[in-house]
A = this chain, B = another copy of it.
């Protein structure tokens, strides 16, 4: 028996070596950065009105993850909710080699149950500005949000210089609970969430309580420390990199700093050929780095503002203060809060113009493949399914399966979702009038997915259209998990399948993970299906995705380890 036992020992040693090698490789060559997070609900007043807010270690927004390219992030997340599950997505991190830690409930993992600790572990493999947020139901809008900042290796300096690096996370804010909003959306008759009551800059806003007498009985206290204005202090003459991120539930935003130009240098982890704006438009799911120079009259402070575009909202702009040191940080700028002129909400042109202005920075261009292997055209429409209001893509409204796709596909659970149904790759583009209120709004729901051949190139055309309301089309920021895509084209009206591809930018298109489809317009993306896993692609507006506006791509599933972490199990067909 001895030899056999020895063989086993030898095998075990080999196995251990293999595991060790695998991990040292998977973990990159960088540092391991460990975080212990406890998520729970707490009473907070981000816009001076008390509400239950999700906090991480007591903070809203959550702590910023700061790391260097190649580092491994380990987040031990404790769910301290009472009856509610959670899952956290690391927005913009491709999860190469760790598709099970993308944090999308129903796609890559089962939700994390109350009382449980889940450990996310992944490598941040590119410098840039990223975010994290809940990816479960409409939980993101309750506050589980934060930023990730990855610096380059010292040997690869960034192609621009600045003295200080600062975060500015933008959100919109509702007084009703996520449960009230979601219940309304899932009700028949449909009950729309409405426009947000406030906007928040770094988690701070300012609701005018006299506008809503119903709040009298709730704590609405303008002097609550939670809603004191965000102050960005600058030293005269210095240059600041502001890392802007938007995790709005609904709103498209405009961002301005009174009297200061914003030079765009990065978006979604890619360097941008610099250009300067007064107003930066930013959509949910996007990040931008802008440089500002503190070169104005240093004897005063300046207004920082953000306001809603693309929807006719009455929501007030949010204000913060650019504080020139050594002025007092609470010193009010001498100008009115309204000094930053707000763009017209329904003027799409400057927004499309900004989109078209964003190109990859010279010297940092990733040239896209010349041609694509597959073209998928996705018509975005508002629909009805059995009398419920939904959003659809090519008339299919997305539903999560109970068993996450990643597990179902790896374990061949053939009844876990509709394996047999591949959603359509096009719509009746010859006849469909994208400018008309649709005649037949009926759609079907499905959890069928698009399966992509590994290492092929895929073009996706996102085609916008009129909603169920006359003369109305909305902005949809689409976010792709697990990949960046090249934005090869954007335009107004209906995409022309024979002509428009000829004008694709194949020279210096920017790579992004989130891009807007403008009202009545189209956006063309190209990406390489080179990351084995199952990946969500969806509108980043919380209610739109909740109402079915998304699809799922699988590619290279055979290259994903069959040894999935047991921590992602526990739901659907994955109970012991």
Residues of A in contact with B (beta carbons under 8 Å apart): 40-43, 52, 82-86, 110-111, 113-116, 136-139, 177-180, 182-184, 186-187, 191, 212-218, 400, 402, 566-567, 569-572, 574-576
Contacts and interface: CB of A to CB of B under 8 A. Distances in A.
A116 B572 contact: yes
A397 to B, nearest CB: 16
Contacts of A402: 113, 115-116
Given A575-B570, A575-B574, A575-B576, A52 B183 contact: yes
A114 B111 CA distance: 10
13 contacts: A40-B186, A42-B183, A52-B183, A82-B137, A83-B85, A84-B85, A177-B179, A213-B217, A567-B575, A570-B570, A574-B576, A575-B575, A575-B576
B217 A571 contact: no
A217 B194 CA distance: 15
A183 B41 contact: yes
Contacts of A191: 43
Nearest to A50: B180
| Most B CB within 10 A of own CB, among A115, A139, A180, A567 | A115
Contacts of A40: 183, 186
Nearest to A411: B576
Contacts of A182: 82
A402 to B, nearest CB: 5
B571 A576 contact: no
A550 to B, nearest CB: 16
Contact of A217 (B83, B137, B215, B572): B215
Given A82-B138, A82-B186, A213-B216, A115 B400 contact: yes
A52 B452 CA distance: 42
A566 B576 contact: yes
Contacts of A571: 113, 116, 570
A402 B572 CA distance: 18
Contacts of A139: 83
Contacts of A575: 110, 566-567, 569-570, 574-576
Contact of A179 (B82, B115, B215, B570): B82
Contacts of A111: 83, 113-114
A116 B216 CA distance: 40
Nearest to A43: B183
A417 to B, nearest CB: 12
A187 B52 contact: no
B218 A187 contact: no
A197 B213 CA distance: 20
Contacts of A136: 83
| Most B CB within 10 A of own CB, among A83, A138, A216, A569 | A83
Given A569-B570, A569-B575, 14 more contacts: A42-B183, A52-B183, A82-B137, A82-B186, A83-B84, A83-B111, A84-B84, A110-B113, A113-B113, A113-B402, A113-B570, A214-B214, A216-B216, A575-B575
Contacts of A572: 113, 116
Contacts of A569: 570, 575-576
A113 B138 contact: no
A565 to B, nearest CB: 9
A286 to B, nearest CB: 25
Nearest to A572: B116
Contacts of A212: 217
